[in-house]
Amino acid sequence: MIEILNPTQLGRARRTGALVGHILQTLKLRSAVGVNLLDIDRWAREMILDAGAVSCYVDYAPSFGRGPFGHYICTAVNDAVLHGLPHDYSLADGDLLTLDLAVTLDGIAADSAISFIVGEARPAESVAMIDATERALAAGIAAARPGARIGDLSHAIGTVLAEAGYPINTEFGGHGIGTTMHQDPHVSNTGRAGRGFKLRPGLLLALEPWIMVDTDELVTDDDGWTLRSATGCRTAHSEHTIAITPGGAEILTRV
């Protein structure tokens, strides 16, 4: 099912998006060397509950996971990239941390992810990867407007990632979002322009380019959730929820 939001729902989506963006930026500022991933999860929980919002993750139990997720945010360090299960780990200087957060507020969900480097170190390879996912996300957003097709967004995202030299995994990508976190249409991180669902005002999409330095293969961690690069290489992930409006795409999760 592809959901088209009415203006009242779109107003709610803006509030949810602003909350998700605010929580992620707050957690980024707090993610210093020595901070534990379980602290980040606890802070996320507090901010979600204080805002009267509902976590999309805590009870999330898809077919590929091992029972309910049981945490409030995804924390993925270095070779971990998607569905990172918070665990007892203290951040080190130069770690590449991805935080991915989705909540529902007044019945509308928003979903966003940021990757950044902890501490003072700036490993060049990690800086370049994060930059590539952010540029790919910007290109996907720039291609999103009424009348454009999903394939146009996939093509724009995939072109940036490929030109930067990264392999592209097509198992996990962006998605429709609205009254629930994951909806149709799927938005692959590569694809052919001119194909797929035609965008129209009221459609919400979560676009989320993610990459691994030297592989497109994932392995599942023993925790049953965290997806890591098959080679142990570093990874990065950038995600925004956008709304299609008559004038183009509006980024809902930007602070």
Q: Counting contacts by CB under 5 A, is residue 152 touching Mg ion?
A: no
Q: How far is the CB of 133 from Mg ion (least distance, A)?
A: 13
Q: Which two tokens stand for residue 76?
A: 């993925």
Beta bridge partners of 119: none
How many binding residues for Mg ion (CB under 5 A)?
A: 5
Q: Are 206 and 253 in contact (CB under 8 A)?
A: no
The minimum distance between CB 34 and Mg ion, in angstroms, equals: 26
| Cβ proximity to Mg ion, 62 vs 246, nearer residue | 62
- Tell whether residue 95 is a contact of Mg ion (CB under 5 A): no
Residue 242's DSSP bridge partners are 205, 251
Strand partners, 249: 244
Question: What torsion do the CA atoms of 136, 142, 144, 150 make, to the nearest 10 degrees?
Answer: -30
Return the residues of window 112-141 that contact Mg ion according to CB under 5 A.
113
CA 237/CA 99 separation, integer angstroms: 9
Nearer to Mg ion, 95 or 100 (CB): 100
Question: Is position 153 an interface residue for Mg ion (rule: CB under 5 A)?
Answer: no
Residue 34: Cβ-neighbour burial (10 angstroms; 0-12, 13-18, 19+): exposed
Is 100 among the residues that bind Mg ion (CB under 5 A)?
A: yes
Residue among 148 and 204 whose Cβ is closer to Mg ion = 204
Burial class (CB in 10 A: 0-12, 13-18, 19+), 197: middle
- Within 179-238, the residues that bind Mg ion by CB under 5 A are 206
Kindly state whether residue 252 participates in binding Mg ion, applying the rule CB under 5 A.
no
Quick check: 111 binds Mg ion (CB under 5 A)? Answer: yes
Piece of the chain touching Mg ion by CB under 5 A; list 107-115, 150-158, 211-219, 245-253: 107-115
Residues binding Mg ion (CB under 5 A)? 100, 111, 113, 206, 239
